[in-house]
Structure 1
Amino acid sequence: MAFKGKVALITGGGSGMGRTAAQLLAKQGASVAILDVNEEGMKETAESSATIHPFVVDVTDTDAVHALVEQVERDLGPLDRIANAAAIMPFGKLLEQDPKVQLKLMQINYGGLVNVATAALPAMIQRGKGDFISFSSMSGVIPGLMMGGYCATKAAVQMYTEILYHENINSGIRFVCACPPPVSTPLWKQAEATVMPKLIEGGETLTPEQVLEDIEQCLEHGEFLSMPGKGTKFGYKMRRFLPGQIWKHTHKVEGF
């Protein structure tokens, strides 16, 4: 594992990717603060280790997040890693999905990242070391029909993190933006409970462990984009060089 620090902060620690990341770091001896609104889920996450510390907070609440980061650093010590895993994932056509749901998607998936970054990164940069991990998605690289609200948030996450990285490129912070294909977590079940595009239905799903392993390798090798899975790097190139072909294929598969 690339993590050599003592204290980590992970959002979305009540389930899925956040839970797995917290438990893996705790096994390595780290003190891990997990943030979520899912109090029961965080309790289950923390049952595996006495060094996992749950904090109930809404990541969309800027003042609450900033205050909590200060509390975590007082209680546990300076942060050595930040991982932004909090997200929701309902799908739907843009003009059929409730606009309040679309805005909530952006507030949590993107706004939560902004709140955590502005709360925790300045002190980390001042210390000149640490890891900052964002979870985008291949849905933030390749747009998909019936996924517009979610895709928009993950594109925002990727763009924000890339600029953040370049604005602090000589700070000593290791930045990684993860762009996996679908991952087998409760988040993916949210999507399945709404509407599932034919293009991704029944396709490859990774485990959280596979995604986290790729992130660790990227941290070790100084690579910004983590794209685990068989077709992710090819898809990234297709989106960049042949976007029209992607849309042509998408419309053919979806039938409209």
Structure 2
Amino acid sequence: MTRGNSAGFGVHGDVVDADPGRLHDQCQLNVTALVDLTRAYLPGMTGRGRGVIINLASLSAFLPLPHMAAYAATKAFVLSFTDALWVETRHSGVRVLALCPGPTDTAFHAATGSDDGSFGRHRSPEQVVDTAFRAMERDVSRVVDGRLNTVSSLLARLLPHRVTLALGERSMRPTGSARAAEPPRRPLSQ
């Protein structure tokens, strides 16, 4: 039995301007529903000694994203949760994977309200699925889809935090945004 937790959506724009209900729904679906579904199916899988859980995280799980702050935070949760679950299930026969695609050629970006190309080059859904299947053969806790996305995820961890914030802001800035594009001027706590 394979279960993929891939339902989710993103709210594009600044938190101050966002509909509170949409933000709440996004967190409920991207975090709470994923945990609830995992908990619902995991006992049966561990009882049988086999199964696969693939949780759809995102490249955005690796860094804060201004203009998609809550979305990136939910995906960071998915990545952390899945890494821990991978360890918890190591000897149960159940395989667990966090799949971290970058921009993918789906309706996701149009649904966020910003299908304007600001997300960069898109990969195909077939490429993302192939990446997941190859990762399942290697029994790893996480995989980033695509070379450029893999490099981006590594840079997000290696570059100074202020630089990653500035890059994230630039990549997610809504077209025609009047908001300041500067990174914070005071030191950020870790």
- Describe the SS at the equivalent of 1:204: coil
> Equivalents in 1 of 2:115, 2:22: separation in Å?
14
- For 2:185, the equivalent position in structure 1 comes to none
- Work out whether 1:123 is the aligned partner of 2:40: no
The answer for unaligned runs of 5 or more in structure 2 is 174-180, 183-190
Asked if the contact 2:64–2:168 (Cα under 8 Å) also holds between the matched residues in 1, the reply is: no
- Work out whether 1:203 is the aligned partner of 2:120: yes
In 2 relative to 1, CA 124–252 (structure 1 residues): closer, same or farther, beyond 3 Å?
Answer: closer
> Equivalents in 1 of 2:158, 2:114: separation in Å?
31
Paired letter, 1:161: T
Residue by residue over 1:122-142, the C-alpha shift from the partner in whole angstroms, topping out at 9 and shown as x without a partner, is 110111111110000011112
> Equivalents in 1 of 2:164, 2:31: separation in Å?
25
Task: Quote how far apart the aligned CAs of 1:195 are.
Answer: 7.9
- For 1:244, the equivalent position in structure 2 comes to 162
Aligned match for 2:14, one of 86, 93, 100 = 93
Residue by residue over 1:50-71, the C-alpha shift from the partner in whole angstroms, topping out at 9 and shown as x without a partner, is xxxxxxxxxxxxxxxxxxxxxx
> Equivalents in 1 of 2:18, 2:169: separation in Å?
19
- Describe the SS at the equivalent of 1:231: helix
Residue by residue over 1:152-201, the C-alpha shift from the partner in whole angstroms, topping out at 9 and shown as x without a partner, is 1111111111111111221111111011101111222112x2586xxx71
- Describe the SS at the equivalent of 1:169: coil
> Equivalents in 2 of 1:252, 1:206: separation in Å?
20
Paired letter, 2:66: L
Asked if the contact 1:136–1:154 (Cα under 8 Å) also holds between the matched residues in 2, the reply is: yes
Asked if the contact 2:65–2:169 (Cα under 8 Å) also holds between the matched residues in 1, the reply is: no
- For 1:39, the equivalent position in structure 2 comes to none
> Equivalents in 2 of 1:171, 1:119: separation in Å?
16
The answer for unaligned runs of 5 or more in structure 1 is 1-79
- Describe the SS at the equivalent of 2:147: coil
Task: Quote how far apart the aligned CAs of 1:248 are.
Answer: 3.6
- Work out whether 1:166 is the aligned partner of 2:87: yes
In 2 relative to 1, CA 169–207 (structure 1 residues): closer, same or farther, beyond 3 Å?
Answer: same
Aligned match for 1:214, one of 120, 126, 131 = 131
Asked if the contact 1:124–1:130 (Cα under 8 Å) also holds between the matched residues in 2, the reply is: yes
> Equivalents in 2 of 1:153, 1:132: separation in Å?
18
> Equivalents in 1 of 2:86, 2:130: separation in Å?
21
Asked if the contact 1:87–1:108 (Cα under 8 Å) also holds between the matched residues in 2, the reply is: yes
1:101-120 equivalences under 5 Å are 101-120=22-41
Asked if the contact 2:46–2:94 (Cα under 8 Å) also holds between the matched residues in 1, the reply is: yes
> Equivalents in 2 of 1:108, 1:251: separation in Å?
24
- TM score, norm. by length of structure 1: 0.63
- Describe the SS at the equivalent of 2:54: strand
Count of aligned pairs between the two proteins: 173
> Equivalents in 2 of 1:163, 1:250: separation in Å?
26
> Equivalents in 1 of 2:142, 2:158: separation in Å?
18
- Describe the SS at the equivalent of 1:82: strand
Moved over 6 A (4+): none
> Equivalents in 2 of 1:92, 1:221: separation in Å?
37
